[in-house]
Structure 1
């Protein structure tokens, strides 16, 4: 289908200068939205106030042409607003004082705007604001009242629906009566030519482009330094040379790794100041997962976290201690890129360190299997900065889950890897000489006695407490060997640690030395003899394929370990006293022994410990 139209029209009655134009509040809302996008929300206030002012002045001039009294026009001001569609309703109270010439001397007005189009459109298109948004209505009221009163009258919005208040309220005063309360608002009424606005915007764009160029160049230099293998201290110094802002790199415990741009004395002073601030604040929210600024009387600290494998590994900070004003937004963009560079450096160091530790773990396996001659082991140890001529201990460790934290096979493997990494870091921080590996489902620590006053008990206790804090949803069990002196005997000491680990039933840490005669019995590898004694002394209870016997053996072991104390045994086994007494009587009947006889108790406990250590029975 084709249509052809040839038409024309002309309205002779339309006034050219003051023609009425139909528009909607949505159209003004769209204009507002576009202004925000192009010149920013901070700059549109002045534009809209002046826009409203001109409309108010124009409507007031038209009203004055009708020879309406000033008193009447003051009353009708809000009515003009409503007729224009700016608002749907209003309340208005006003007190005006006139002199003998009917000139306004004083004016105090207040009221509310109901359903301000500006508030509605702003919320609809831009969301709630932090401040009042009815800029056009404020400008209109000020322009209208100023024109009819013959002196400057200014309106101020007090509450606003656009920022979440229940209603829009306003106050009008003469400029003189406002005194200094409107000083900050006066700049919005001063007209800025469009060329100045454009020049300002252009300058802002040039400045932004220049900064982005600098940021890109900064990132490029960081990448080059990382690719060239530059260390963290050198890169930190170069960032300071580029920014001239003191910079600090800390680990996740807020211990300083490196810094630049500060003398040693100034660094110590600022460090003490920040630690005192952190101590007084006692807040867990001080450590950021994103951008954060901390201010004290002495300094301001702009902080960006360092992420490695999705975990916060430390923090990078700019330190402002010169009293000058800084552009934090731009500084943070630089700091964030530096933090990313530090992440790559630390990730590289972490990977290299863990690879080295795992290599040492393979070396430990070779030691325990006695695959290499002793003199070669000692020589290889020197390459890893380990003096294997010194005395040593072997520690076997397990992480046993609680019932609430049952894990899949994949989760179990991931947890073991986590524990291994944490132990790597712990020993690295404490400067221990050791080898760490995995064997037969256990973590194995080969710990070298570095000083004469070295205490294995203290070292293991501290490690245990650290691991409890790091992994609170389970428990660690550790078996510790006797002190070894010859590297070729490491396998035997591994066996000691493994035996001690099996006997961590009531204690979390057991040393082989504490096993006494049990250790000697087991170390003789006299398994056949132990079984014969066990069969003779335990009788029918030694039928280990019956789960009821295993339960009774567990009860017997706990009872004997507690020295025959019923209350402690009842607590450990979570049994009632009557239930426990019943089991003890049943055990005595099967064994045909008196469990109150100290000699019988001691012998039975030795047998059970030997069977547990040899893996013949398992009592968890």
Structure 2
């Protein structure tokens, strides 16, 4: 079978204006469904409104060519609604006043759409909505009325069958009135929505910008990685970053001390630094933290800073800042991406430097241990010392530091040891004191040359150091013993023994030089340990029992009483005893010793014996 359509079946009528296309409402329902699927249910609101607007405006522009009466035009709009199949009926009331220039003085219109095709199709394809759905009808009415009046008029649906209401009711007002009424809502956003084509163009431009940023960022990251691999220092890296982003940059430690900077003259840097000092002093009173743990913008009278921390092993070790005269001229969200990556690179460089320093310091600590143990000859010690930067031909002190933390586990003890070790060499490095630091018998050992501390007394140097440790580790307890000044490095073992003896006698004082021990030091230094024990056994009698806890309590009471020169009030305070309890203990001690503790000679001899026992490690009264 063959079927042919002849040319006579074609329409040869000339189309005047736009060609009319007849279709069913269900087709628009399917279109609505597909739009919701592809651009989202929220986005179709503006799309359909503008579609209806363009349709209403086009029809109105055709009608005004044959009809000039506003009253007739207003009546004609609903008729066109019905003819186009949008609705089956309408109730409409419109009141308006025009001024002498035929501009709207007042306008209000309201009505009801009967059997809206949009509501019916929306429910059929998408279900009941949370809000009005007659967007095409609202757009049609708005476009038609705006065109015939020549001023923006907007229709807003206030009830809709599509969201479960009994009827579709709407209100129309001038756009400026809606703007005042709905100024705190987002209802008017879709009226002014950008056409999809324009929006796609804008989106493309934004994606292109983002692509350029990502490309630049990737290039930036590659440059940073190359510099780190090549072993560049932080100053070189900072200069490279400034060259790439053309924004001044500064790197500081946690105390706001400058590590390096780039993109600023020395005068500018000093001005910015001083200005920041003022800012920190002012804010220090109202905030606990000087600078942030995460990114922050700080604005002062002459500068704006975008700041991000440098994190190393979950701790803030410094800050990177971009400096602006006026941040408004910059996209600081994009700048932050570069700053954040620079901060990560800076943390890697600082970690590398930290690792190198720690490795070197641990090597020096191992060297110190070999010196104290006497495993190296004098010449070898002096020659190796040159590589550490310490002149071991000079006179020196050995200090032994004991540190304790209440209720610590083995893990806590190890962590505390590492933290104190790191803090120690950082402290002396900042003071430009090149020393040897190591561990021995659970304590910290420091070798400090007299040349390093110059004219400062060793006691003051160590006291300041212990005060610093107490601030850094307030839950810990520190005490230190200091050897005598020695000029022969081969005698380091004896100096270590002197410092250890002084440490054992650091009871009421945190720092005890061996030189301050007097006759006790002489006794111990002479190695007369057996003699000391024999005298202690004779003089202390029943109290010379190191295994009985009750006897040890009496010895502790006696030692405190003797240290305080026989003052009961001070001893009572030191031991947290009542006066009656202390008197009872003193009376029992005198009874056991068969001695009068008010006799100054007896007191001095007993104190010397107990100190000697503590110094040789025979007795511990902490």
TM-score by length of 1: 0.76
SS in 1 for 2:329: coil
- Provide the rounded CA distance (Å) in 2 between the counterparts of 1:481 and 1:374: 19
Residue 295 of structure 1 corresponds to 299
Matched, 1:247 2:249: yes
SS in 1 for 2:487: coil
Higher Cα Rg: structure 1 or 2? 2
- Provide the rounded CA distance (Å) in 1 between the counterparts of 2:582 and 2:136: 89
Q: Deviations over 1:138-166 (max 9, x none)?
A: 9998986787795535699xxxxxxxxxx
Residue 444 of structure 2 corresponds to 443
Matched, 1:378 2:382: yes
Residue 606 of structure 1 corresponds to 608
Residue 162 of structure 1 corresponds to none
In structure 1, list runs of 5 or more residues that go unmatched: 1-14, 36-43, 72-95, 110-132, 157-170
Change (3 A) 1:203 1:145: closer
Change (3 A) 1:595 1:390: same
Change (3 A) 1:183 1:581: closer
Give 1:464 deviation, angstroms: 1.1
Give 1:191 deviation, angstroms: 5.5
Residue 552 of structure 1 corresponds to 554
- Provide the rounded CA distance (Å) in 2 between the counterparts of 1:576 and 1:447: 44
1:113-512 aligned within 5 A: 151-153=151-153, 174-175=174-175, 189-190=191-192, 192-282=194-284, 283-321=287-325, 325-402=329-406, 406-449=407-450, 450=452, 452-512=454-514
Give 1:181 deviation, angstroms: 10
Change (3 A) 1:108 1:470: farther
Change (3 A) 1:439 1:285: closer
Change (3 A) 1:424 1:140: farther
Give 1:443 deviation, angstroms: 0.6
Q: Deviations over 1:249-276 (max 9, x none)?
A: 1112221111111101001111111221
SS in 2 for 1:550: helix
Change (3 A) 1:464 1:140: farther
Change (3 A) 1:16 1:477: same
Residue 519 of structure 1 corresponds to 521
Give 1:55 deviation, angstroms: 6.6
In structure 2, list runs of 5 or more residues that go unmatched: 1-21, 57-73, 83-88, 110-129, 157-170
SS in 2 for 1:583: helix
Change (3 A) 1:451 1:464: closer
Q: Identify which range, 198-207 or 234-243, moves more after superposition.
A: 198-207
The answer on whether the counterparts of 2:400 and 2:480 sit within 8 Å (CA) in structure 1 is yes
- Provide the rounded CA distance (Å) in 2 between the counterparts of 1:434 and 1:491: 17
Change (3 A) 1:97 1:601: farther
Give 1:210 deviation, angstroms: 2.4
Matched, 1:531 2:533: yes
SS in 2 for 1:350: helix
- Provide the rounded CA distance (Å) in 1 between the counterparts of 2:458 and 2:329: 55
- Provide the rounded CA distance (Å) in 2 between the counterparts of 1:477 and 1:140: 87
Change (3 A) 1:519 1:181: farther
Give 1:485 deviation, angstroms: 2.2
Q: Identify which range, 446-455 or 393-402, moves more after superposition.
A: 446-455
Change (3 A) 1:569 1:56: farther
SS in 2 for 1:319: strand
- Provide the rounded CA distance (Å) in 2 between the counterparts of 1:138 and 1:21: 12
Change (3 A) 1:29 1:614: farther
Change (3 A) 1:189 1:205: same
- Provide the rounded CA distance (Å) in 1 between the counterparts of 2:203 and 2:588: 94
Q: Deviations over 1:321-352 (max 9, x none)?
A: 25652112221111111111111111111111
Matched, 1:575 2:577: yes
Let me know the Cα RMSD of the aligned residues.
3.8
Q: Deviations over 1:100-151 (max 9, x none)?
A: 9999744799xxxxxxxxxxxxxxxxxxxxxxx9999999989867877955
SS in 1 for 2:318: strand
- Provide the rounded CA distance (Å) in 1 between the counterparts of 2:481 and 2:108: 86
Residue 540 of structure 1 corresponds to 542
How many pairs were matched up? 532
The answer on whether the counterparts of 2:304 and 2:326 sit within 8 Å (CA) in structure 1 is no
The answer on whether the counterparts of 1:400 and 1:477 sit within 8 Å (CA) in structure 2 is no
- Provide the rounded CA distance (Å) in 2 between the counterparts of 1:189 and 1:541: 98
Change (3 A) 1:105 1:472: same
The answer on whether the counterparts of 1:49 and 1:136 sit within 8 Å (CA) in structure 2 is no
Q: Identify which range, 25-34 or 466-475, moves more after superposition.
A: 25-34
Give 1:550 deviation, angstroms: 0.9
Q: Deviations over 1:349-398 (max 9, x none)?
A: 11111111111111111211222222332222112111222222111011
Q: Identify which range, 140-149 or 269-278, moves more after superposition.
A: 140-149
The answer on whether the counterparts of 1:232 and 1:345 sit within 8 Å (CA) in structure 2 is yes
Q: Deviations over 1:209-236 (max 9, x none)?
A: 2222222222112111111111211111
Q: Deviations over 1:164-223 (max 9, x none)?
A: xxxxxxx99744568999999988644533322222222222222222222222211211
SS in 1 for 2:333: helix
Give 1:575 deviation, angstroms: 1.8
